[in-house]
């Protein structure tokens, strides 16, 4: 039938041009002419001998792949993915066209071939759909600069091939009315394979997501360390600058002491000013636990701005459990408690890690009426007192506490 020959020539030209345009291959004209002519001959031979359409589809894919590899040996997976994709668009267009004309003319799909005119229009319309879909997708992918080289390519290619196989079996069975038990059995087996492939793809996506989350956490940690190191570097520069200022101040003080005309009150005021400058230094924690360091540093510096004289002693190693939100909240609560019930604003805070326990100790002079929330111990005959707290660094325990 002449209409079949024209449709075959047209679809092979569209398929070859779409693949060559999408992959931007060299010698596009030669590739289009060679693959179109070769695939037309294959289609004619297979149609003449009534060989299974699935074998023809695989042979067409193989022909295009060989032609592409003769031009360029690189990017094998990208080439085969592109060919499979456009072959799927071709099959989709063919079957959609048959379904549309079946509905419009109220004729079963298996009866369309008996009506030569309607079937001819359906074939022509399928090629128009194929050309439209191919043109749209080529332009879209060119705009997005897209290709099929992705990390999950093996599974995705297998899923696409399996869908094409199932789609072809169902389409042929519907068109030719030969839905025999063997075809149903093959489709069932392919659906099982498809389900397994989808599970594998889901697993790969989950693994990639976990890797991305781990990478984000690592990046965040590095960013915290960078910020902390910048602060420490700034603090070091400040200390060096203050050291020079202190030398200048001491020399000035020496001159004032040697001058009998200067009153002691002026000297005392000068000393007080320098002490206030030293006290105003910002505290920066650098235990190697970025979340803990930033939160505790902010808490201590807020208290210093409120006039607290804080002496901080930290004996903590690098431990991810210390960055836990529960641990940081408990430490902040302890600091709030000792600053609230201290008689004076002079406090010594000690935080020490011992095995799986974080030991907190706040040494100061506290008011008498104090809640029994933390353990209290009298030091130096009652002049100063110590409030202690222990936090268990155990992941299961912390999770239960948050619940």
* 313 Cβ neighbours under 8 A, 6+ residues apart: 348, 349, 350, 351, 352
Residue 208 has pLDDT above 60, yes or no: yes
- Cα angle 398, 402, 403 (rounded to 5 degrees) comes to 120
How much is the mean pLDDT over the chain?
Answer: 76
**8-17, 70-79, 167-176, 200-209: range with lowest mean pLDDT:** 167-176
pLDDT at 130: 86
Of residues 297 and 378, the one with the higher pLDDT is 297
Tokens read off for 28: 């596009």
Residue 262 has pLDDT above 80, yes or no: no
Proportion of the chain above pLDDT 90, given as a percent = 0
Residue 210 has pLDDT above 70, yes or no: yes
Residue pointed to by tokens 């360091």: 293
Give the tens place of pLDDT for each residue, 292-320. 888 888 888 888 878 788 888 888 888 88
Tokens read off for 326: 């529960």
Banded model confidence at residue 42, pLDDT cuts 50, 70, 90: confident
pLDDT at 47: 66
How many CB atoms sit inside 10 A of residue 201's CB? 16
**CA dist list (Å): 7 to 11, 14, 272, 278, 325:** 6, 11, 98, 89, 67
CA 326 to chain centre: 26
pLDDT at 60: 86
> What average pLDDT does the segment 150-165 reach?
70
Give the tens place of pLDDT for each residue, 13-39. 888 888 888 888 888 888 888 888 888
pLDDT at 177: 65
Angstrom distance (rounded) from CA 134 to CA 132 = 5
pLDDT at 367: 80
Contact (Cβ atoms closer than 8 angstroms) between residue 281 and residue 313: no
CATH number of this structure's domain 284-403, picked from the four choices 3.30.110.30, 2.40.30.60, 3.40.50.300, 3.30.565.10: 3.30.565.10
Residue 382 has pLDDT above 80, yes or no: no
pLDDT at 238: 66
Tokens read off for 256: 């004032």
Quick one: which H or E segment has residue 346? strand 346-354
Domain ranges of the chain: 2-179, 284-403
pLDDT at 28: 83
Give the tens place of pLDDT for each residue, 46-56. 766 544 567 77
Proportion of the chain above pLDDT 70, given as a percent = 70
pLDDT at 303: 85
Residue 83 has pLDDT above 60, yes or no: yes
Tokens read off for 301: 């510096």
Residue 219 has pLDDT above 60, yes or no: yes
CA 198 to chain centre: 20
Banded model confidence at residue 277, pLDDT cuts 50, 70, 90: low
Of residues 66 and 395, the one with the higher pLDDT is 66
Residue 403 has pLDDT above 50, yes or no: no
Quick one: which H or E segment has residue 390? strand 384-392
Tell me the three state secondary structure of residue 76: helix
Tokens read off for 202: 């889901």
Give the tens place of pLDDT for each residue, 109-125. 667 777 778 878 888 88
Residue 157 has pLDDT above 80, yes or no: no
Angstrom distance (rounded) from CA 403 to CA 398 = 9
Q: Is the dihedral of CA 169, 170, 171, 177 positive or negative?
A: positive
Banded model confidence at residue 149, pLDDT cuts 50, 70, 90: very low
Contact (Cβ atoms closer than 8 angstroms) between residue 88 and residue 130: no
pLDDT at 376: 67
> What average pLDDT does the segment 73-92 reach?
79
Residue pointed to by tokens 């599974």: 155
Angstrom distance (rounded) from CA 366 to CA 339 = 9
Q: Say if strands 375-379 and 357-364 run parallel, antiparallel, or are unpaired.
A: unpaired
Angstrom distance (rounded) from CA 130 to CA 109 = 19
């Amino acid at each position: 039938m002449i209409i079949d020959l024209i449709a075959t020539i047209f679809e092979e030209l569209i398929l070859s041009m779409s693949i060559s345009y999408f992959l931007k291959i060299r010698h596009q004209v030669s590739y289009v002419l060679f693959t179109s002519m070769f695939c037309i001959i294959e289609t004619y031979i297979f149609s003449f001998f009534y060989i299974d359409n699935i074998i023809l589809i695989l042979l067409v894919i193989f022909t295009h792949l060989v032609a592409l590899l003769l031009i360029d040996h690189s990017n094998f997976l990208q080439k085969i993915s592109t060919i499979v994709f456009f072959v799927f668009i071709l099959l989709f267009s063919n079957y959609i066209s048959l379904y549309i004309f079946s509905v419009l003319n109220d004729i079963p799909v298996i009866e369309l071939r008996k009506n030569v005119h309607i079937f001819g229009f359906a074939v022509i319309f399928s090629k128009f759909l194929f050309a439209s879909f191919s043109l749209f997708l080529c332009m879209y992918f060119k705009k997005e600069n897209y290709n099929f080289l992705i990390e999950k390519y093996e599974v995705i290619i297998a899923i696409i091939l399996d869908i094409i196989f199932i789609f072809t079996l169902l389409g042929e069975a519907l068109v030719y009315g030969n839905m025999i038990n063997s075809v149903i059995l093959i489709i069932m087996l392919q659906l099982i394979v498809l389900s397994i492939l989808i599970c594998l793809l889901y697993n790969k996506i989950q693994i990639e997501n976990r890797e991305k989350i781990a990478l984000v956490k690592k990046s965040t940690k590095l960013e915290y360390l960078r910020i902390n190191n910048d602060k420490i570097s700034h603090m070091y520069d400040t200390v060096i600058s203050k050291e020079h200022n202190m030398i200048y101040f001491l020399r000035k003080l020496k001159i004032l002491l040697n001058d009998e005309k200067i009153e002691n009150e002026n000297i005392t005021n000068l000393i007080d000013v320098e002490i206030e400058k030293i006290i105003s230094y910002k505290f920066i924690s650098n235990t190697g636990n970025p979340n803990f360091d930033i939160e505790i540093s902010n808490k201590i510096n807020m208290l210093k701005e409120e006039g607290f004289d804080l002496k901080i002693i930290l004996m903590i190693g690098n431990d991810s459990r210390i960055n836990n939100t529960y641990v940081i909240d408990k430490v902040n609560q302890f600091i709030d408690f000792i600053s609230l019930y201290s008689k004076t604003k002079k406090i010594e805070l000690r935080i020490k890690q011992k095995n799986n326990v974080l030991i907190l100790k706040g040494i100061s002079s506290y008011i008498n009426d104090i809640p029994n929330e933390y353990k209290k111990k009298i030091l130096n005959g009652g002049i100063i007192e110590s409030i202690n707290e222990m936090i268990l660094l155990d992941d299961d325990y912390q999770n239960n506490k948050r619940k």
